A and B are shown apart, each in its own frame.
Chain A
Amino acid sequence: MQKRRGSKILVFLLCLVPLLWLGWRAWNGRLTANPIEFITHYTGDWTLRLIVIGLCITPLRKILNQPDLIRYRRMIGLFAFFYGCLHFLTWIWLDKFFDPGEMWADIVKRRYITVGMAGFLMIIPLAITSTTGWIRRLGGKRWQLLHRLVYLTAVCGVVHYFWLVKSDIRQPLLYALLVAMLLGWRLRTWMRPAAKRPAPMRKTPAPPSPVYSQSGQLVEREPPAEA
């Protein structure tokens, strides 16, 4: 149990590295001559990267036969949301200065902002319902269905990026390919008839990795594995 918690802490710290790096660059005055633009792009990049990493979990579990990877998915998803919030905050604060008129004008007029905003709005309910309590309240099936919204968020994120670059589309193209592969893999799995699907991976039908506090109380249950 100690080792497993250690690995979660490690993933947590890894997810914080981009923020610390940003802080380090800020500290050393290395945010380019246009720090606000730099912060906007940086936080946007990491939101998209973490969404892609989160989408890798399920395929990697199956392909590498590492079902335990599910333990990191919630944290990665929440970090994607966290960087998304920073990205959004940079926009409303440092770009729009909390002017609702300007914000609304941009949302309806600039299609890259429209789609970016849509992607952001869609992961808010996912962040809220990420807790074990909400999984129980919604029930695994419904929870899973809701959390498929992240596929749309990923697509919105890529389109958002595509529409804002001036000419050099290599980066957005790379993300588009990754997201297409990850969603394509899922599509292929769903299309395969149930009979041909691989057998459940767990050897024993144990409840999915519960986590206990030191006093032995159940503190956390992992979300349903599929999706």
Chain B
Amino acid sequence: MLIKQADDLRYSDITPKSLYFNRRRFLAGVPAAFLGARELLSPSARARAGTTKLTAAKSPLSTTGEKITPEDDVTHYNNFYEFGTGKEQPADLAKNFKTSPWTVSVEGDVAKPRKYSLEDLMKVAPLEERVYRHRCVEAWSIVVPWIGYSLSALLKEAEPTAKAKFVAFESLYDPKQMLSPFQAGIPLPYVEGLRLDEAMHPLALLTFGMYGETLPPQDGAPVRMVLPWKYGFKSVKSIVKIRLVSGQPPCTWNEVGANEYGFYSNVNPNRDHPRWSQRKERRLGEFGKRDTLMFNGYPQVAGLYSGMDLLRYY
């Protein structure tokens, strides 16, 4: 490993943890007067599951002007139902998740189907670090420096045939390591899908790491999608299969409730979830709420949906 450069500091180092704990205590109504004294005894950040350093060039496609969410929040506030429906459960239940060896099968309507080892998959294109906003359908959001490359690089290598119109993703489902579908409350394995042109958009990131290291299990190790203009559940985790198909593939949350979770699930402040508003969101670490932006503030994807009624195709 080379000598660490200044900009390779862990992100948790940039914003002192203690400031965040301070804020939370205040929000919880604990008298501010005690805070200074208590600060000395502040608990240290929680240890991170076995991840290794991952270096990547900074990408010009990064979102700018956003404060990065503390890493400890991103790794301890997860929706990964295979490892529990509680927000802090995945960090605990996934800590021994086995991610090596790992293979990803690229198959279906492609000229060159192939089973990639994780090592080979990571070499398909140079890794980039991209800072993206990430907006959950539950109306909270984070800003994360992901590491990966545009999925289009992999798809081009596979050479989709003329029949290929959609891309179907499948997560690992290993009952020995994960909960049952009943405990998770959703059918498993988790499946997701995109239109081929959406999957080819440069913002669609095949992701191997975050915060300068490989992905921790609870955030979708060893490889996941990140689709910053869509609600978080579209960004499928722990991928084992990428299949190009001619018809719209099934998507887990869409199967659970089609009126609540559409196939597209683009971030759209004008289309409420039937049970809650999508107008605003709470950025983790912030007290107030902020307005949710169309396509989560990524207007460059609008062309994919020109002429479509986005209230109907939600």
Contacts and interface: CB of A to CB of B under 8 A. Distances in A.
B284 A110 contact: no
Contacts of B285: 33
A168 B140 contact: no
Interface stretch (A21-29, A51-59, A203-211): A21-29
A106 B273 CA distance: 12
A23 B28 CA distance: 7
Contact of A31 (B28, B85, B183): B28
A132 interface: no
Interface residues of B, number: 38
Contacts, number: 82
Contact of A33 (B87, B275, B288): B87
Contacts of B138: 166
A169 B186 CA distance: 11
For chain A, the bracket of interface size reads 20 to 34
Nearest to A171: B85
Contact of B29 (A26, A109, A110, A112): A26
A169 to B, nearest CB: 7
Which has the most chain A C-beta neighbours within 10 Å: B25, B138, B257, B272?
A: B25
Which 6 residue pairs are nearest across A and B when measured between Cβ atoms? A26-B28, A29-B21, A168-B185, A33-B73, A33-B77, A167-B185
Given A34-B282, A105-B277, A168-B183, 4 more contacts: A25-B28, A31-B27, A33-B285, A37-B140
Interface of A: 22-23, 25-29, 31-37, 39, 94, 97, 105-106, 109-112, 163-164, 166-170
Interface of B: 20-21, 24-25, 27-30, 38, 42-43, 70, 72-74, 76-77, 81, 85, 87-88, 138, 140, 183-186, 256-257, 272, 275-277, 282, 284-285, 288-289
